[in-house]
Structure 1
């Protein structure tokens, strides 16, 4: 439900946020929260921890993790947790609250309403198929098939697996009785229509609901229960809700595990994703076939920086791995490849070998060049000139997709060593492909520092003032009368100060939610959230603000005094007027210290 405009009137935005309690939303996203007084606590979904440091306040509609310093409001959470844009987060929240976002025209409203109705139909079908599977008289044979594939009852319930009966119009009858139309069934891909009439698409198949990253059922996959039934797998066609090239199976269920592991395992099919997930390796998604697109890569990049390719150990699997490798690299992701034994898929491997061996396979994943060289070695005699030449071309093509110049240079060096060739040979092949070699320094990845880490005494006072003003914004008039935000020395505090000063000029009462929404800097929203969710607040904020202002005035006077002394020394000027000015500044500082 994309909107024609990113503008949302303030009153609608406030209403949508007010109808989406932050604790409820975070819980629905899979974070287990336990009440602690007026707040909630849980394990942070943004870093791995054993002791809960993730705090959520329904009263202040804010979250903050005292472990990794992530923080914000309900919109910030969805943007960080799901990788959503601001508008995507608002669309999700508006649907949850049942409050429509403004559309530019009547056509846009109609499209939005149609999508909501099709989602309702898919949800009805998912629940219908699931009930049929669990009914022994209807779905007994299909259920036995799943049990034979080692699928557990809990997995069947969690993934809402289902069964479509063999009748030609079973879903037609059930859906129309529930109030849905034939055209809607066609639009969502649940039935086919031809000269002979309408026919259920998935009849006689185990059903795998396909959800988008928000958890909405957008399509279905059907697996034939009988080996004689062809094709073995059947997916929903492209619809207004479902695009195979932009959807990854199990992404909704795997999001939390992906973020904790900071990597995602990419497999091919439904069972290849379900079996590792069921066994405990839950950061796994499937591309619904061997085709992998740039849109898939962009979707994965929203959740993890590293992808491990785990496709079937056969020639088709190798080709799929190679295609996926280039696409993922072009999207700027780090890529590794875990090689399965020949004629083995992830489903078979984990059933035969177990979780520990599966994890060992993942941990031993090869870098992209190791995979290329191993593939060339397995298929040919790598010492032959023609084979080595072909390997160089294939590896150069892979390297040409790398975005990071440091990685490109290091991989080129490694490949040259392994292939026993001069590095210049590989560089020439890269140049032929249009690659320009350079050596920029890539910034190291690091976790966001807490706002109070390694601060000077002056910055510590500035933090206390900012913290007190966020906790008691009614004290801003006192602060503004005695201080200016440009005098903050810490850049983050100066940014927050400017936001507070400007907000107080426009509003009688500052709304902290609006302050967070107006800020695109994740670090700043985290600092604001930390102040809002501080466990102990000073009993007298006025005294705290007055004390901070007094100390900051002292620092400012010191700045002026040092500047005047430096100017006097530089000019060799010891006039009585400058000496008198310095004495006056010193006296004023002593008076402040009393």
Structure 2
């Protein structure tokens, strides 16, 4: 859908929706104090660790880390895209979703319906043509497909004619225009009458995540100068970088998926489904994109990429790894299976059966192992230069991984291999850079036999206001505001007295304050939705479930106290800066007056 959905609408929608009602329609909840609890619908567990907070309008599983708003729940549980989840929730409360800029770049609703209709009619035309073509049926018979599989995937045949589909469906200028817009007809370089794009090919319908046909893939039967496989072009409905062949069938086959297997060809997918592995999907003639990676992980936490073992297959695997790394949040895993020369999943599953292919999957290479094997290629780790080169190759890719245990493990492996400290790229936020570099220092100390103290062991003092007086003050203030956006009433208008404080998280705190000030209806769930795809999201999710003790009045006073402490720290920082400058290069008259005022205020 074209056009961005305004944040103000999402805030209003989440304020009207009760997340308990949304989840309870799908998962049985039990009252547990102020919250509700259940066994998590996203992983197997015996005792309930899944909680739903009516106050925060937020769910969280303490077992697997699943979390989010009502929007995120529909995306993860019903496997809807973001706009579709918004549309469904809006319909519950009688709201119409606005799109900034309208939908000029997208097909109008009636036009969209016509495109779906004509593509569905094209699929039926190809299926009837398959029934009439002995050659096409023989091809599928030779590949070992049974009638049930052919029907389940809606396979068909495009006759060897330039006007077969056009004559059957395009009997008016409007219909011809619609078929052309759907990618079913094409024109020559000199224009002229459009003709059938697919000719003398067995046809594979491509469905979206609702089961609607949006495009086709075709494999040529006879030798020709054209490509062996041909996909529909990009259309208003079809964007190959965001679609996966057979994801609809995978979702229909199993409500809770243990894994998804990504292969390269239509027939590879279909063969695995027919032989008892209905978890296979394929990209559509393109490398694995970040959009593909997000869709895969949204449907399942464990993804297996299956490629040829030759150079081209390993390059395709590396492109998949690069796309997956920024999506490796808590609980997600990726593996890589490389096949013997001359084999593909279709041939192997028919030779070895389900059990044999399962054994190969069990022995698949984890992402971390494949990552370092690829990066170490051509590098001599016995030399300092080789180790430095490896660190340089890896640092930006590892920095792209969301904060969590997988990134920590990748950093540990890199440090083990290089035994050197390296600087993170400038793209990291200061607080992330500081935390990662501290961890690296500890790890290097361990490798060298030293016993450095953990950063977590540092003592913290409490101020008279009851909040931590060291750098955790910022964290505490963020947690208080995140869980209680209405505390914005305690904050004076900008400029903020602590804006210049050089401490991790101050920028994030100011950003949250500005969001809460500009969006009065925002709640915890909406704030987390705002940061879902940003690097700060992981830290905010942890703070959203941090236990805060005290009633609303007490917590609001502690929030105000925290801001007071930060303001005092900012003044101390400025005082130290001026004293240092005075010793170094001297102060001008204005700065001298400022320093005298700061020192006098501190004495008072």
TM-score if structure 1 supplies the norm length? Answer: 0.56
* Cα 1:337–1:110 shift into 2, 3 Å: closer
When residues 204 and 5 of structure 1 are mapped into structure 2, their CA distance, relative to the original with a 3 A threshold, is same
Residues 447-468 of structure 1: per-residue CA shift (max 9 Å, x gap): xxxxxxxxxxxxxxxxxxxxxx
Q: Sort the Cα spacing of 1:376 and 1:331 in 2 relative to 1 into closer, same or farther, 3 A.
A: closer
Indicate the SS of the match to 2:218.
Answer: strand
CA distance, structure 1, for counterparts of residue 251 and residue 122 of structure 2: 26
2:187 paired with 1:187: no
Shift of 1:122: 4.0
CA distance in 1, matches of 2:343, 2:172: 43
Structure 2 partner of 1:367: 366
- Mapping for residues 1-80 of structure 1, pairs under 5 Å: 1-6=1-6, 46-47=42-43, 78-80=74-76
Helix, strand or coil at the partner of 2:170: helix
CA shift for structure 1 position 127: 4.3
1:121 is aligned to: 115
| Cα distance in structure 1, aligned partners of 2:310 and 2:123 | 33
Could you tell me which residue of structure 2 aligns to residue 479 of structure 1?
none
Q: CA deviation digits over 1:508-530, x for unaligned, max 9?
A: xxxxxxx99999799xxxxxxxx
Q: In structure 2, the residue corresponding to 1:181 is in which secondary structure?
A: helix
CA distance in 2, matches of 1:370, 1:497: 43
- Structure 1 residues 137-146 or 184-193, which shifts more? 137-146
Looking at structure 2, the residues matched to 127 and 393 of structure 1 have their Cα atoms a distance apart, in angstroms, of: 59
Structure 1 Cα separation of the partners of residues 99 and 318 of structure 2: 43
* Structure 1 partner of 2:155: 161
Provide the C-alpha distance between the structure 2 equivalents of 1:402 and 1:69, rounded to a whole number of angstroms.
21
Alignment pair present for 1:405 and 2:408: yes
Q: Secondary structure at the match of 1:406?
A: helix
CA drift of 1:317 comes to: 0.8
Match runs of 1:436-447 below 5 Å? 438=436
Note the C-alpha offset of 1:168. 0.6
Please name the residue that 1:530 is paired with: none
The reply to whether residue 175 of structure 1 matches residue 169 of structure 2 is yes
Residue matched to 2:207:
211
Once the 2 structures are TM-superposed, how far is the Cα of residue 121 of structure 1 from its aligned partner? 2.9
2:244 to 228, 244, 248: 248
User: What are structure 2's unaligned runs of at least 5 residues?
Assistant: 28-38, 47-60, 400-406, 440-481, 487-522, 533-604
Alignment partners' CA distance in 1, 2:375 and 2:72: 47
Residue deviations 1:250-305 (CA, integer Å, cap 9, x gap): 22322477873454322212122222222222222212235222222233232334
CA deviation after TM superposition for structure 1 residue 3, in Å:
4.6
Q: How does 1:395-474 map to 2 (within 5 A)?
A: 396=391, 399-400=394-395, 401-403=397-399, 404-410=407-413, 412-413=415-416, 423-424=418-419, 427=420, 438=436
Q: Which ranges of structure 1 fall in alignment gaps of 5 or more residues?
A: 27-32, 34-42, 51-64, 415-422, 442-494, 500-514, 523-594
1:133 aligns with: 127
Aligned to 1:301: 297
Kindly indicate whether the alpha-carbon contact (under 8 Å) linking 1:397 and 1:433 is maintained by their aligned counterparts in 2.
no
Give the 3 Å change call, closer, same or farther, for CA 310–267 of structure 1 in structure 2. Answer: same
Q: How many angstroms does 1:409 deviate by?
A: 1.4
In the TM superposition, what is the alpha-carbon distance from 1:104 to its structure 2 partner?
Answer: 6.0
Residue 201 of structure 1: how far off its partner (Å):
0.6
What do you get for the CA RMSD once the two structures are aligned? 6.0
The separation in 1 between residues aligned to 2:384 and 2:144, in whole angstroms, is 46
Conservation of the 8 A alpha-carbon contact between 1:126 and 1:160: no
Given that 1:162 and 1:208 are in contact with CA atoms closer than 8 Å, whether structure 2 keeps it comes out as yes
- The structure-2 alpha-carbon separation of the partners of 1:173 and 1:374, relative to structure 1 and needing over 3 Å to count, comes to same
Aligned-partner SS, 2:238: coil
Aligned residues: 436
Matches within 5 A, 1:312-327: 312-327=308-323
Partner Cα separation in structure 1 for residue 314 and residue 327 of structure 2: 20
Aligned position for 2:354: 355
Contact 2:262/2:303, CA 8 A, preserved across alignment: yes
Distance 1:210 1:137 in 2: 20
**In 1: Cα distance, 2:483 partner to 2:384 partner:** 58
TM-score, structure 2 as length reference: 0.55
2:130–2:156 contact (8 Å) kept in structure 1: no
SS at match of 1:237: coil
Q: 2:267 — aligned with what?
A: 271
- What's 1:344 paired with? 343
Give 1:232 shift: 0.6
- CA deviations 1:61-101 (Å, max 9, x no partner) are xxxx9x999999996763222554653314468899x9975
